[in-house]
């Protein structure tokens, strides 16, 4: 209840059938959990919401990635791509797997977002000098980013781009590119 005595509605209520599938997948042994992937993915955007919650609850990121990839290939590539990127940030040990799933669905979300913006009569946002804009998929991670942040602290991003003495993350490479500096 809120301070005014009203009951708050959850942000997003899932269909009971999907909730049951999620519960069944959660209680299934890891070796057979994959059998629930396509049935959950069939719920499209609701499956994306469910897999966000799945990861937040500390459940298997691998299963969430598999479901999100299936959603991205069949229904909601923008939502699935966004959720996969959130996994990259939340569960760094699974970042490579999530990046590979992004590559397989063939959507960084930018192409689909640009198409939706054009359909709505809006200009699509395209950042100038985007390093990996041509493919929509950044290169695989190779090691820690060795470029320090503006405040001198160590960058916590993974390096993807070779620089003298190590690897640079995409953010630091973009900054160098926009400034016309060698990376």
pTM over 0.85: no
pLDDT of the chain, 183 residues: tens digit per residue? 444 443 433 456 889 999 999 999 999 999 999 999 999 999 999 999 999 999 999 999 999 999 999 999 887 688 899 899 999 989 999 999 999 999 888 744 444 444 444 444 444 333 333 344 444 566 777 788 888 888 888 888 888 888 888 888 888 888 777 777 765
Q: Residue 32: what pLDDT? A: 93
Structure tokens, 174: 């973009």
Q: Residue 11: what pLDDT? A: 53
**Residue 68 near residue 85 (C-beta atoms within 8 A):** no
DSSP label at residue 183: -
Torsion angle (degrees, nearest 10) of CA 108, 114, 120, 121: 170
* Cα–Cα–Cα angle for 57, 18, 7, rounded to 5 degrees: 70
How far, in Å, CA of 102 to CA of 118, rounded?
23
Q: Residue 177: what pLDDT? A: 77
Tell me the domain boundaries of the chain.
Answer: 16-119, 127-183
How far, in Å, CA of 149 to CA of 71, rounded?
36
Supply φ then ψ for residue 182, to 5 degrees: -70, 145
Q: Residue 137: what pLDDT? A: 67
Q: Residue 12: what pLDDT? A: 62
How far, in Å, CA of 31 to CA of 111, rounded?
35
How far, in Å, CA of 37 to CA of 68, rounded?
9
Please choose, from the candidates 99, 22, 96, 102, the residue with its C-alpha nearest in 3D space to the C-alpha of residue 63. Answer: 22
Q: Using only C-alpha atoms, what is the Rg of the chain? A: 19
DSSP label at residue 136: S
Please choose, from the candidates 73, 29, 70, 31, the residue with its C-alpha nearest in 3D space to the C-alpha of residue 50. Answer: 70
How far, in Å, CA of 127 to CA of 49, rounded?
28
């Amino acid at each position: 209840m809120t301070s005014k005595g009203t009951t708050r509605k959850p942000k997003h209520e899932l269909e009971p059938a999907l909730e049951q599938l999620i519960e069944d997948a959660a209680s299934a042994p890891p070796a057979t959990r994959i059998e629930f992937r396509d049935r959950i993915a069939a719920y499209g955007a609701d499956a994306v919401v469910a897999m966000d919650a799945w990861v937040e609850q500390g459940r298997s990121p691998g299963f969430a990635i598999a479901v999100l990839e299936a959603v991205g290939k069949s229904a909601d590539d923008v939502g699935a791509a966004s959720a996969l990127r959130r996994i990259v940030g939340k569960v760094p040990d699974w970042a490579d797997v999530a990046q590979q799933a992004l590559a397989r669905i063939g959507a960084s979300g930018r192409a689909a977002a640009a198409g939706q913006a054009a359909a709505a009569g809006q200009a699509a946002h395209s950042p100038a000098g985007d390093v990996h804009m041509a493919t929509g998929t950044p290169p695989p991670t190779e090691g820690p980013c060795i470029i320090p942040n503006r405040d001198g602290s160590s960058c916590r991003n993974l390096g993807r781009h070779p620089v003298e003495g190590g690897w640079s993350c995409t953010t630091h490479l973009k900054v160098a590119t926009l400034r016309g500096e060698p990376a």
